[in-house]
Amino acid sequence: MNEFNEATEFNEISRNIFNYINKLSGLKRTIRRYQATVRPFESDSIKKSGSTIVLRSDTFLELGSPAAGSISFVVCSASDDSINDGEIIVIGSEVAESENQDLPLGLVILIAGRALTEEDRFALLNYSIPADLYEGFMIKSTLENIWCRISYEAAAKGLSLQRIGEALISRIKAEFPPAEAVSILFVTSEKSDVLGLKELGEPVSQMVKEMKRKVWEERGVDISQCKPGGHCGACEEKDVCQEVKKISGAYQKEVGKNHEKL
């Protein structure tokens, strides 16, 4: 897929997501829109500094458990006028009104930036939500699923989806300065709403898999031959994969340094 077709497809996915938001609005779902106050990530007063574990007995709210359902993905394009920079949209319940609940969770991060490189876009499409966003916020995530717990203490301090969205936007803009517009969508209303969002994200999943295949192919690795289920310990190419991961990590650090110099 060339860059033009990729951008066109991502813009189409963005439009479908915003049309879906309008559809949920027509179904009388509660929708809140916030405008983020983006600040340096390190300055937040309740940033996580201790344990990443929130025990069930300490849990005020659970989001995206296997029983409740979840989906998480990133839409990233060079230019997309439909993305309102700093906008956080919450469809469904906010944290404060959801004590002792287990809610579904849909999370979509929409990003646009004309100066984003192909490497930037690949890293963003594979972006994992950081585990150190806030004290009392535990997260387990894969490329497509996300499971969170918010502690009673964090909820009492005012932790909300709005604040989580602000932290994500700040973090992404700090790590990827060419990201001109970043918007966050949370869906906590109904499991069926999250499943509908999952359908919209399926093309993203396929595009990420194709991009990953090409990246590894350029390094001489055919990932279609990898053992299913991620059983890396039994793979003869484990040492090669580990070396590629080291190179990729060093590359991302260098990218960050170069962005700082611009």
Q: Where are the domains of the chain?
A: 3-212, 225-261
Identify residue 155 by its one-letter amino acid code.
A
**How large a percentage of the chain has pLDDT more than 70?**
76
Most confident residue range from 44-48, 64-68, 254-258: 64-68
> Does the pLDDT value for residue 140 go beyond 60?
yes
- Residue scoring higher pLDDT (234 or 10): 10
- What is the predicted pLDDT for the residue at 260? 47
- Residue scoring higher pLDDT (205 or 236): 205
Task: Give the SS3 label for residue 182.
Answer: strand
Most confident residue range from 160-169, 218-227, 244-253: 160-169
Question: What's the token pair of residue 142?
Answer: 């894969």
CA pair distance 33, 35, nearest whole angstrom: 7
Q: Which residues contact 24 (CB under 8 A, 6 or more apart)?
A: 31, 91, 187, 189, 193
CA pair distance 113, 53, nearest whole angstrom: 35
> Does the pLDDT value for residue 156 go beyond 70?
yes
Q: Please report which helix (H) or strand (E) contains residue 32, including its range.
A: strand 31-35
Average pLDDT over residues 60-84: 92
Residue 109 pLDDT grade (very low, low, confident, very high; cuts 50, 70, 90): very high
Burial string for 191-204 (b: 16+ CB within 10 Å, else e) reads bebbebbbebbebb
- What is the predicted pLDDT for the residue at 262? 45
Q: Could you tell me where the DSSP H helices lie in the chain?
A: 3-26, 118-125, 152-156, 161-175, 191-218, 238-261
> Does the pLDDT value for residue 46 go beyond 70?
no
> Does the pLDDT value for residue 231 go beyond 50?
no
> Which stretch of 26-30, 91-95, 190-194, 249-253 has the lowest confidence by average pLDDT?
249-253
CA pair distance 129, 168, nearest whole angstrom: 8
- What is the predicted pLDDT for the residue at 165? 95
Residue 246 pLDDT grade (very low, low, confident, very high; cuts 50, 70, 90): low
Average pLDDT over residues 143-157: 93
Q: Bridge partners of 138?
A: 149
What is the tens place of the pLDDT at every residue in 14-26? 999 999 999 999 9
3-212 sits in which CATH class?
Answer: alpha beta
